[in-house]
Structures are given as structure tokens and as C-alpha cells.
């Protein structure tokens, strides 16, 4: 049985190595090496309870988790904050909506039709009222439709997309806040920045100003994925909120001698090490170089698509969307699709050589 198991694992390994060569459509960076962390897998580490408090479970990595949170707090310009390392963007969005519901129990949740599917699912799980808003052609929320729908409400919870799933569109947080203020609506704004939360802060300064989404705006919480741009073999993320708001959800648990403030009880203590190691080995300068490289790849792909006349090409930073190709190409290059649109997310593990091969397949299809 042992030989059979080893054979099966080897088959899986070879299969994944091959698939990685044509992995273009999903926002998950595959360029990383965490081998220095493998030795920590021999311990049953668990970050149960609040990351800012010790507990009776001492095999944990909360001090590393706090360093990760400090990195993001600085990145998003907030001094008084609370947060934790999640298992991905969906949990971060769920926490943001959960906190918003506790602060505004009668409020309706507003989100656009291009919002990630986790929002609709989380709204359903939390039993909240919701209202879908139209999107513009580029995937950004339609501000006129938003104003028409929200002005009838006294309280509102708004989900701002900081990079929509398919087109990478960025909602204007300052404009959404102005609309809410204009109609004197009590509100909570959550940002789903799953991918672009690790991209926009590293763009040139003039582009950052156009797409400002951090805590210098009226945002109350931000969710980011770790496996998407930072890169991780295990799905992970962070959620950051204004500290005075998070205190609403504190409950002391005698069993662990700590407050239970997160959504899960037992929490992954290995992914904070992954986040921490990535931040320490790459740093701000390294992330900036990665974003510049990925933007260059995206510019190159747009140029090549336009050169052959492929329809409906649009670019938002590192996301390039275009008319959906054949199922054969979708399957080979693992493209994400929605209706008649497909996209490529340009990430650090990709190369121009890969994109050249992808373009050759599209050229054959054009003929």
C-alpha cells in the first residue's frame, strides 16, 4: 500500500508541474520558495483566539501574525487598527460584513453586479438585506444607479470592489462616501481588495492617487488575499478594521483565557509564517518591482492582442480581459471566464515566453 500511495503522489506532483506552465487565468502567484519554513510543520501550532492576546495554547505564532498586520496597517495608513490572518478573501469579506451588521443591524448591503460571488453568499449566511447595483462597461460600479437606490435608505453597508473578479475594475471609495454623506446616510464601507490590495499601494504615486482606497478614505474595513499576489501554497489573507469598531465583537472565553474575536476558533498558525517570511524576504522594494514587472507583462499582452485584432480587449493594471476564446484554449491555459469575457491575470510567475505561446494559440484560432 505504501508503494501505491507514493506512486499516486508522484503522479500528482508531475501533473501539477505540467499544469503550472499554462496557469494564466487565476490570481494566484506560483513563484515562491518556503522550504525554510517546512520544519515548523512538525508542530501542532494553532493561533486560537485574538491575535493581540496570549492564550493557554502556547504553541502558536501570534507574534509573527502581529508583525504581518503591522505591515498592512502601515501600507493602508491606519494607526489604531485590529485584524487577523484569515484563510482567504471570502473570510475577510465575511468578517467585514459581520462587523457591519452588528453595528448597523437594520442596514441594507449595497454591492455591484460585478462584485465577487463571496459577497452574495456571505450576505445570505448573515441573513442581511441586500440591493444589487448596476456596473459600468468596465466593471466599475454605476454611481448614478447607486445614488438612486441608496438615497431611499437611512442606513447602508457598502461593498467597494478594489479590483473586480473579471476585469479588475476599481470602485471610487471617495465618491461612494460623498454620495452617502450627501443624503445623510449612516454607513459602513467595506473594501474587497483580494488581489489589488497588494498591487495598488506599489503603483507609481500618480496612479495611487487616482485609485485611493485605504484608511485615508471613509473605509471601515479591508480584506486582502495572501495567496493571490504575495504568493502562498495555502490560501490565506488578512482583514484590517478600525480598532474602535472591532471592540463590538469581543467575547471572553475562559477555556482559552482570551477573547474570541475572530470568525473561526482554531486558526491556521502556519500561514502567518508564510506571510511574514514573504514580507521579510521581498520587502516593500521587492513588491514594487514585482508590480512593475506584472504591469509590463499586462501592457505587452494588450499590445499583442490588439496587434492580431482580438475583440473587446481591456486592461486594468495587471488584469487583461478580452473576448472569450474557444473551450480548447480556455481549458489549456486555465482561463477564468464569465459569459463572453475571459481574462489573464499577469503575475510574478509568468513570463513573456508563456504569453508568446498563449498568443500563438490565439493566432491559430483567428485563422
Q: What is the CATH number of the domain that holds 326?
A: 3.90.1150.10
Average pLDDT of the segment spanning 344-354: 95
317-339 residue pLDDT tens: 999 999 999 999 999 999 999 99
Asked if residue 90 and residue 56 are part of one domain, the reply reads: yes
Give the burial class of 311: count Cβ atoms within 10 A of its Cβ; 0-12 exposed, 13-18 middle, 19 or more buried. exposed
Instruction: Specify the DSSP element, H or E, that contains 342.
Output: strand 341-345
Asked if residue 117 and residue 165 are part of one domain, the reply reads: yes
Asked if residue 318 and residue 268 are part of one domain, the reply reads: no
Asked if residue 57 and residue 15 are part of one domain, the reply reads: no
121-170 residue pLDDT tens: 999 999 999 999 999 999 999 999 999 999 999 999 999 999 999 999 99
With a pLDDT cut of 90, the percent of the chain lying above it is: 89
Asked if residue 238 and residue 346 are part of one domain, the reply reads: no
Asked if residue 53 and residue 28 are part of one domain, the reply reads: no
Asked if residue 228 and residue 117 are part of one domain, the reply reads: yes
Of 234, 249, 280, which marks where a domain is finished?
A: 280
CB burial string 209-245: b at 16+ within 10 A, e below: eebebbbebbbbbbbbbbbbbbbbeebbbbbbbbeeb
Q: What is the mean pLDDT of the chain?
A: 94
Split into its structural domains, the chain has a count of: 2
Q: Which three cell numbers stand for residue 132?
A: 444589487
Whether the CB-CB separation of 93 and 240 falls below 8 Å is answered with no
Average pLDDT of the segment spanning 98-104: 96
Report pLDDT for 212: 87
46-59 residue pLDDT tens: 999 999 998 899 99
Asked if residue 238 and residue 90 are part of one domain, the reply reads: yes
Mean pLDDT lowest for which of 86-100, 258-272, 284-298?
258-272
- Structural domain for 258, as ranges: 37-280
Query: 88: how many CB neighbours lie within 10 A of its CB?
Result: 22
pLDDT beyond 70 at 209: no
Asked if residue 291 and residue 175 are part of one domain, the reply reads: no
Which residues on adjacent β-strands are paired with residue 253? 258
**Residues annotated as catalytic (active site), given as ranges:** 317
Q: Angle at the Cα of 60 (from 55 to 65), degrees rounded to 5?
A: 100
Of 252, 280, 308, which marks where a domain is finished?
A: 280
pLDDT beyond 70 at 208: no
Calpha distance 141→341 (Å, rounded): 18
Of 253, 280, 307, which marks where a domain is finished?
A: 280
Asked if residue 29 and residue 44 are part of one domain, the reply reads: no
259-265 LR contacts (CB < 8 Å, sep 24+): 259/49, 259/50, 259/53, 260/49, 260/50, 261/49, 261/50, 261/82, 261/84, 262/49, 262/50, 262/51, 262/84, 262/95, 263/86, 263/91, 263/94, 263/95, 263/98, 264/87, 264/91, 265/48
Whether the CB-CB separation of 170 and 191 falls below 8 Å is answered with no
Q: What is the CATH number of the domain that holds 204?
A: 3.40.640.10
Asked if residue 186 and residue 148 are part of one domain, the reply reads: yes
Q: Which three cell numbers stand for residue 137?
A: 462597461
Asked if residue 312 and residue 272 are part of one domain, the reply reads: no
Nearest 10 degrees: CA dihedral of 33, 39, 42, 48?
-70
Average pLDDT of the segment spanning 46-75: 95
pLDDT beyond 90 at 248: no
Report pLDDT for 257: 74
Average pLDDT of the segment spanning 347-366: 94
Amino acid at each position: 500500500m505504501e508503494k501505491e500511495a507514493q506512486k499516486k503522489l508522484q503522479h500528482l506532483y508531475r501533473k501539477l508541474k505540467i499544469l503550472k506552465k499554462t496557469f494564466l487565468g487565476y490570481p494566484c502567484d506560483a513563484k515562491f520558495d518556503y522550504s525554510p519554513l517546512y520544519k515548523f510543520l512538525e508542530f501542532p501550532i494553532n493561533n486560537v483566539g485574538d491575535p493581540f492576546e496570549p492564550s493557554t495554547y502556547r504553541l502558536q505564532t501570534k507574534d509573527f501574525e502581529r508583525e504581518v498586520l503591522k505591515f498592512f496597517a502601515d501600507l493602508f495608513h491606519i494607526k489604531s487598527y485590529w485584524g487577523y490572518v484569515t484563510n482567504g478573501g471570502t473570510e475577510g469579506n465575511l468578517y467585514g460584513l459581520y462587523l457591519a451588521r452588528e453595528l448597523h443591524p437594520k442596514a441594507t448591503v449595497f454591492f455591484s453586479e460585478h462584485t465577487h460571488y463571496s459577497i452574495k453568499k456571505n450576505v445570505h449566511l448573515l441573513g442581511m438585506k441586500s440591493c444589487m447595483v448596476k456596473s459600468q462597461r468596465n466593471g466599475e460600479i454605476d454611481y448614478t444607479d447607486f445614488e438612486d437606490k441608496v438615497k431611499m435608505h437611512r442606513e447602508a453597508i457598502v461593498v467597494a470592489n478594489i479590483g473586480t473578479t473579471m476585469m479588475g475594475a476599481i470602485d471610487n471609495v471617495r465618491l461612494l462616501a460623498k454620495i452617502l454623506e450627501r443624503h445623510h446616510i449612516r454607513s459602513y464601507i467595506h473594501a474587497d481588495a483580494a488581489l489589488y490590495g497588494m498591487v495598488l499601494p506599489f503603483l507609481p504615486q500618480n496612479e495611487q492617487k487616482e485609485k485611493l482606497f485605504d484608511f485615508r478614505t471613509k473605509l471601515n474595513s479591508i480584506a486582502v488575499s495572501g495567496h493571490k499576489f504575495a504568493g502562498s501554497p495555502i490560501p490565506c489573507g488578512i482583514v484590517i478594521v478600525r480598532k474602535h469598531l472591532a471592540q463590538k465583537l469581543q467575547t471572553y472565553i475562559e477555556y482559552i483565557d482570551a477573547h474570541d474575536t475572530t470568525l473561526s476558533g482554531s486558526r491556521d498558525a502556519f500561514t502567518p509564517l508564510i506571510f511574514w517570511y514573504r514580507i521579510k524576504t521581498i520587502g516593500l522594494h521587492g513588491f514594487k518591482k514585482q508590480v512593475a514587472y506584472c504591469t509590463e507583462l499586462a501592457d505587452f499582452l494588450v499590445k499583442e492582442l490588439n496587434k492580431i485584432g482580438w475583440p473587446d480587449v481591456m486592461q486594468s493594471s495587471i488584469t487583461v480581459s478580452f473576448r472569450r476564446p474557444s473551450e480548447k484554449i480556455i481549458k489549456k491555459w486555465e482561463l477564468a471566464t464569465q459569459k463572453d469575457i475571459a481574462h489573464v491575470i499577469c503575475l510574478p510567475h509568468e513570463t513573456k515566453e508563456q504569453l508568446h505561446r498563449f498568443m500563438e494559440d490565439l493566432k491559430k484560432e483567428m485563422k
